[in-house]
Amino acid sequence: MSELSANKTINPFEVALKQLEESSKLIDLDEGIHKILAHPKRVLTVSIPVRMDNNKIHVFTGFRSQHNDARGPFKGGIRYHPQVSVEEVKALSMWMTWKCAIADIPYGGGKGGIICNPKEMSEGELERMTRRYAYSISDIIGPHTDIPAPDVYTGGKEMSWIMDTYSALKGNFVQPELITGKPIAIGGSLGRNEATGRGLSFTVREAANRLKINMKTSTVAVQGFGNAGQFAAQLVEEQGAKIIAASDSKGGIYNKNGLQIGSLRKYKEKNGFLDGYPGAKSISNEELLETDCTLLIPAALESQITKKNAEKINAKVIAEAANGPTTPEADEILYKKEILVIPDVLANGGGVTVSYFEWLQNLRREYWTEDDVNERLDRNITKAFADVYQTHEKYRVNMRKASILLAVLRVSEAIKIRGLWP
Ligand code: GLU
C-alpha cells in the first residue's frame, strides 16, 4: 500500500517517555509526579463489530487513551489509520497534555484511534464503524470529561456522527459541546478548519522575527498535504514565502521557482495526488525532507526525521505540523546544526486552541466571527511562543525540551495543588 507510513521500528510512546524524562531532569521534577505523568490515567481498547457492505462482519479495534486531566478535561483527536497502535495513541495523548498546557487552555490530554483504512471503506461502513466506536467509548467521553476532535483521516463528518450517537445515547438532546471540529451547521467554529495551519504560520512569523529571517525571500518544503499541511503552506505563502516542494502519501514534487498552493490544491482535488503536477520534478518523501530550504514543514506522521536523515536536513527552521515527526536523537543532531525546531506541541497547537474556542461557543450558545477567532488565536499562540522561547533561552535547551519543560511545570503545579486522592 502506498500510505506514507509511520516509522514502525520506533515506538512513539518510548519517544514520549524519553522527552518527559529529559525535561523532568532539567527541573528536578518530583519523582512521584514524574511517575504519574509517565502513565496515562486510562487506556481503553474496544472491539468494533461492523457489518460491511458485503454483508460480512468485520471486527475493528479502537482505542482511547486519557493521559492526564489535572488542568481540565481530556482533549484530543481520533485518528483512522491502518497503523494506529495503542502505543501510538498513548504517546499522542501525552503530547496533547503538553500541547494544552503550553497553549494555556484548561484541558488535559487524550487521543483515540481505530485501526482501519478509511480510503478503502464506503461511506456506510465508515458511518457504522464510527457510530459503534462512539457507543463503545461513550461512558468515558463527555462535554466535561473528554472532548474528542478530528485527527489523521477524520473530519467534520465523523465528528457529526459521534455527536449524534452520543446525544442519542445520553438523554437524547443535542450536545454539541461533546466534540470539536464539527461542521458549522451543527455548532462548529469559523476558522477551526484552518486553525492548525494558521497557528503554525503565527509561530513561523514569531521565529522569523527572532532569527531575523525575511519571509519574503524564504523557501518552504512541506511533507504531507492534508488539512494541516495545506493551510500551513498557504498561510506562510501569504507571508511572502515561496513553496518549492510538497508531498503526499504517493510522493513529492519540486520546483525551485515556486509552486502555487491554490493551484496545487485544485490539482490534488482533481487527481487525488500531487504527483504529475505540471512543471514540477517528481521527488520522493525522503528527498523532500532533505530539500535545501528556509522552512521545512513535516505535516504527515511520526518519526520522519530520525538519526538516519537528520544530518542531511537543509532547513533553517522546522515547524512541526504533524505530531511526533522528529525523534529525540534527531533533535540532538538538529540542535547541533543550529536548526530551530518549532515542536509539534507548540507549532500545531492552533488546532486545539480553536477547538477550545468552539467548545466555549457551544457551552455559551454563542457564535463568534472568524476575525474574532483568528485574533484570539494569534494572541494565544504568540504568547505561547514567547513563553517557550523565553524558557529555551533561560535553560539553554532546544525548543522541544523548553516546551515540554514548561508544560510539565504547569501540569505538575496543578497535580500538586489538587493533591493525591485518597
Ligand atoms: N488532533 C488535533 C491535535 O493533535 C486537534 C485536537 C483537538 O482539537 O482536540 O492537536
Q: What is the tens place of the pLDDT at every residue in 127-166?
A: 999 999 999 999 999 999 999 999 999 999 999 999 999 9
Question: Given pLDDT bands bounded at 50, 70 and 90, which one contains residue 6?
Answer: low
Looking at the fold, whether 16 and 137 belong to one and the same domain comes out as yes
Three-class secondary structure of residue 245 per DSSP: strand
Are 404 and 19 a contacting pair, CB within 8 Å? Answer: yes
Cβ < 6 A, ligand 1 pocket: 75-77, 99, 149, 151, 180, 323, 348, 351-352, 355
Q: Tell me how far the alpha carbon of residue 421 lies from the centroid of ligand 1, in angstroms.
A: 29
Tens digit of each residue's pLDDT (9 = 90 or more) over 51-90: 999 999 999 999 999 999 999 999 999 999 999 999 999 9
Atom of ligand 1 nearest to the CA of 75: 9
Atom of ligand 1 nearest to the CA of 354: 8
**Domain-embedded: residue 286:** yes
35-39: average pLDDT: 98
User: How many structural domains is the chain composed of?
Assistant: 2
Q: Tell me how far the alpha carbon of residue 187 lies from the centroid of ligand 1, in angstroms.
A: 17
Are 102 and 384 a contacting pair, CB within 8 Å? Answer: yes
Looking at the fold, whether 179 and 296 belong to one and the same domain comes out as no
Q: Identify which of 78, 141, 352 to mutate to test ligand 1's pocket (most ligand atoms within 8 A of the CB).
A: 352
Question: Given pLDDT bands bounded at 50, 70 and 90, which one contains residue 5?
Answer: low
Q: Average per-residue pLDDT in the chain?
A: 96
Structural domain including 246 reads 195-342
Looking at the fold, whether 68 and 100 belong to one and the same domain comes out as yes
In the numeric block, which cell numbers belong to residue 150? 478530528
Looking at the fold, whether 46 and 171 belong to one and the same domain comes out as yes
Are 300 and 224 a contacting pair, CB within 8 Å? Answer: yes
Looking at the fold, whether 216 and 177 belong to one and the same domain comes out as no
Residue where one domain finishes, among candidates 283, 309, 342? 342
CATH number of 275's domain: 3.40.50.720
Looking at the fold, whether 122 and 91 belong to one and the same domain comes out as yes
Looking at the fold, whether 95 and 164 belong to one and the same domain comes out as yes
User: Residue 101: pLDDT above 60?
Assistant: yes
**Domain-embedded: residue 348:** no
Q: What's at 256, amino acid-wise?
A: K
Looking at the fold, whether 145 and 219 belong to one and the same domain comes out as no
Tens digit of each residue's pLDDT (9 = 90 or more) over 207-238: 999 999 999 999 999 999 999 999 999 999 99
**Percentage above 90 pLDDT, the chain:** 97
236-259: average pLDDT: 96
Q: Identify which of 355, 356, 359, 362 to mutate to test ligand 1's pocket (most ligand atoms within 8 A of the CB).
A: 355
pTM, two decimals, is 0.96
Looking at the fold, whether 228 and 321 belong to one and the same domain comes out as yes
Q: Which of 75, 90, 99, 111 is catalytic?
A: 111
Residue of the nearest CA to atom 9 in ligand 1? 76
CATH number of 123's domain: 3.40.50.10860
CA pseudo-torsion sign 293, 406, 34, 411: negative
DSSP strands (E only) in 30-94: 42-51, 57-68, 74-81
pLDDT confidence of residue 1: 30
User: Residue 3: pLDDT above 60?
Assistant: no
Q: Say which DSSP state 10 is in.
A: S
Q: Tell me how far the alpha carbon of residue 60 lies from the centroid of ligand 1, in angstroms.
A: 23
| Catalytic site includes residue 119 | no
Residue where one domain finishes, among candidates 186, 209, 227? 186
Tens digit of each residue's pLDDT (9 = 90 or more) over 309-323: 999 999 999 999 999
371-386: average pLDDT: 98
Atom of ligand 1 nearest to the CA of 352: 8
**Domain-embedded: residue 412:** no
**Domain-embedded: residue 318:** yes
pLDDT confidence of residue 270: 96
CA distance 172 to 165: 9
CA atoms within 13 A on the CB side of 264: 28
User: Residue 115: pLDDT above 80?
Assistant: yes
Tens digit of each residue's pLDDT (9 = 90 or more) over 330-363: 999 999 999 999 999 999 999 999 999 999 999 9
Looking at the fold, whether 168 and 238 belong to one and the same domain comes out as no
User: Residue 7: pLDDT above 80?
Assistant: no
Looking at the fold, whether 277 and 309 belong to one and the same domain comes out as yes
Residue of the nearest CA to atom 7 in ligand 1? 352
Q: Tell me how far the alpha carbon of residue 337 lies from the centroid of ligand 1, in angstroms.
A: 30
Q: What's at 370, amino acid-wise?
A: E
User: Residue 4: pLDDT above 80?
Assistant: no
Atom of ligand 1 nearest to the CA of 76: 9
Q: Tell me how far the alpha carbon of residue 151 lies from the centroid of ligand 1, in angstroms.
A: 6
The burial of 355, by beta-carbon neighbours within 10 Å (0-12 exposed, 13-18 middle, 19 or more buried), is given as buried
Tens digit of each residue's pLDDT (9 = 90 or more) over 254-310: 999 999 999 999 999 999 999 999 999 999 999 999 999 999 999 998 899 999 999
**Domain-embedded: residue 383:** no
**Percentage above 70 pLDDT, the chain:** 98
Q: Tell me how far the alpha carbon of residue 76 lies from the centroid of ligand 1, in angstroms.
A: 5
Backbone torsion region of residue 248, taken as left when φ is above 0, otherwise alpha when ψ lies between -120 and 50, otherwise beta: beta
> CA triplet 35, 36, 40: central angle to 5 degrees?
115
